[in-house]
């Protein structure tokens, strides 16, 4: 998680490797970036609906929606992401034996 802490803090982290939310929350204290599906004590209906849409985007691997609508900038996964998109660049920024960290970046003209 030290590698993630050293990356720009401009969006959320989708952690698909850590086995429990409790450990995810612990790691989040180290890298200090917003955590997708973080913990709240009371779940209002509006947040439940947003999380439902977010989960659909994760399951569909809709990286454009994750970047644009949910401001996800990092995906921590054990898998290799080989998706390509004309709108979002998915770049590998860190890799070790069990974890890959990808950064999502817009390829929009106004971002260059």
Confidence of residue 109 (pLDDT cuts 50, 70, 90): low
| Residues 6 or more apart in contact with residue 8 via CB below 8 angstroms | 73
The pLDDT of residue 2 is 86
Q: What is the pTM of this model?
A: 0.88
Q: Tell me whether residue 57 is exposed, middle or buried, using C-beta atoms within 10 angstroms of its C-beta: 0 to 12, 13 to 18, 19 or more.
A: buried
Tens-digit pLDDT profile for residues 54-82: 999 999 999 999 999 999 999 999 999 99
């Amino acid at each position: 998680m030290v590698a993630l802490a050293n990356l720009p803090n401009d969006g959320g982290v989708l952690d698909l490797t850590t086995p429990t939310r409790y450990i995810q929350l612990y790691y989040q204290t180290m890298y200090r970036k917003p955590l997708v599906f973080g913990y709240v004590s009371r779940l209002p209906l509006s947040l439940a609906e947003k999380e439902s849409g977010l989960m659909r985007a994760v399951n569909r691997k809709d990286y454009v929606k994750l970047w644009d609508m949910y401001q996800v900038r990092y995906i921590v996964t054990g898998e290799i992401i080989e998706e390509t998109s004309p709108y979002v660049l998915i770049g590998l920024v860190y890799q070790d034996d069990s974890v890959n960290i990808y950064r999502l970046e817009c390829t929009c003209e106004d971002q260059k």
